[in-house]
């Protein structure tokens, strides 16, 4: 289709007026859409108070996390200390059990000597 050229100034003005109305409506729709988008962004935005609360919570959780890591490292060291102490205690128990066996051996030897002495020599 070919566009018809207006024949006089009055027709040109009418055509420009209708174009301007169309542009105004497009502009209003665009403004309404933009306003709705801005409202949606403002609803979902993070203001200073929310950010400060978030920052405080983050710092608290970070400090708590670091404290738990230090506690875990301390517990790991205490487990290592416990293993070392367990090994030391096992060595002491082994030494004590050897001494008990030596004492029992001496006791049995002395009891045997007493039995032999009372049976054969004490008459």
pLDDT per residue as tens digits for the range 12-37: 888 888 888 888 888 888 888 888 88
3-27 in b/e burial notation, b at 16+ Cβ within 10 A?
A: eeeeeeeeeeeeeeeeeeeeeeeee
Q: Which range, 27-31, 94-98, 116-120, is most confident?
A: 94-98
Quick one: average pLDDT of 47-55?
Answer: 81
101 has pLDDT over 50? yes
- Tell which wins on pLDDT, 8 or 113: 113
35's tokens: 């306003």
Q: What is the pTM of this model?
A: 0.34
- Tell which wins on pLDDT, 98 or 83: 98
Q: Reduced to 3 states, what is the DSSP secondary structure of residue 3?
A: coil
């Amino acid at each position: 289709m070919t566009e018809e050229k207006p024949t006089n100034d009055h027709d040109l003005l009418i055509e420009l007026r209708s174009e301007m109305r169309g542009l105004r409506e497009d502009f209003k729709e665009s403004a309404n859409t933009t306003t709705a988008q801005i409202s949606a962004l403002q609803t979902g935005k993070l203001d200073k108070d929310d950010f400060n609360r978030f920052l405080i919570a983050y710092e608290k959780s970070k400090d708590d996390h670091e404290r738990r890591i230090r506690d875990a490292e301390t517990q790991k060291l205490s487990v290592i200390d416990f293993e070392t102490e367990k090994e030391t205690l096992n060595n002491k128990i082994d030494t004590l059990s050897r001494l008990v066996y030596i004492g029992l051996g001496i006791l049995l030897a002395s009891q045997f000597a007493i039995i032999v002495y009372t049976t054969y020599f004490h008459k």
